[in-house]
Amino acid sequence: MLNILLKIFNDPFCWVIMLLGLIVLILTAVNTNKISSNKIRIEELLKRRNMKYHTNKTTGELEETEDTDAAVTPDTIREAEAKFNAVCSWHTVLSQLIPIFPLMGCLGTVFGLMQQVSAEGIEEMLNSLDVALGTTLVGLFFAIILKAIDALFPSKMINDTEVMLDDFDKKLDLREDKVSVGESSK
């Protein structure tokens, strides 16, 4: 096993794949941190956006009014949503890079097999096979790791935040419908 790892670390194609994998991993971690802070900001805004409820003394019905002390308006939430969407666009770019790693591994495999065709001895043939299999292994390793990280962290946070914002939109639409019905009955 150690011998295999040493051969992988001696192959320049594997180094390129590993370097690019580490760069994407670091960028994903930074982007995940930004997504998390934007999600927390949106959660705080949605919690602070309270409505005041009181009973109408003449009709006995429950009425709601906006809590102006909270100072959170739908526009404030839309601004936070726009910032969140900008950060999410980088997540899309990074997640689209993940399939490149197995393709890079396949490219290294093709290169290793092409070397094998022109090899003059058994030792050269085995070295070219090491290149072929090593690049495939490294490419698959980074693709699996990056996809697992993507699914567990940033993608989940994005989905959770989008659900919160969809719920907010539905409540806002219902509130606006109530207001428009109330105005048309006058």
Model pLDDT for residues 166-184, shown as the tens digit of each residue = 998 888 777 776 666 656 5
Residue 6 has what pLDDT?
78
Token look-up 């290294």 returns 108
Integer angstrom CA distances of residue 78 from 35, 58, 166, 179: 16, 36, 12, 20
Q: DSSP label at 50?
A: -
Q: How far apart are the first and last CA of the chain?
A: 81
pTM of the model: 0.77
In a domain, 64, yes or no: no
In a domain, 62, yes or no: no
Count of helix runs (H) and strand runs (E) in the chain: 6, 2
Q: What's the total number of domains in the chain?
A: 1
Tokens representing residue 145 in the block? 């790791």
In a domain, 57, yes or no: no
Residues of the chain with pLDDT under 70: 1, 49-54, 66-71, 177-186
Domain assignment of residue 27, given as a range: 2-46+70-184
In a domain, residue 17? The reply is yes
Residue 55 lies in a domain: no
**What is the phi/psi pair of residue 60, to 5°?**
80, 5
Q: 110-130: buried (b, 16+ CB within 10 Å) or exposed (e) per residue?
A: eebeebbeeeeeeeeeebbbb
Q: What is the pLDDT of residue 9?
A: 80
**Does any domain span residue 51?**
no
Burial of 3 (0-12, 13-18, 19+ CB in 10 A): exposed
Q: Judge whether 60 lies within some domain.
A: no
Q: Which of 64, 70, 14 is nearest to 44 (CA)?
A: 70
Distance CA 28, CA 6 (A): 28
Amino acid 111 reads F
* pLDDT at residue 41, rounded to an integer: 94
Q: Which of 42, 72, 63 is nearest to 163 (CA)?
A: 42
Residue 59: inside a domain, yes or no?
no
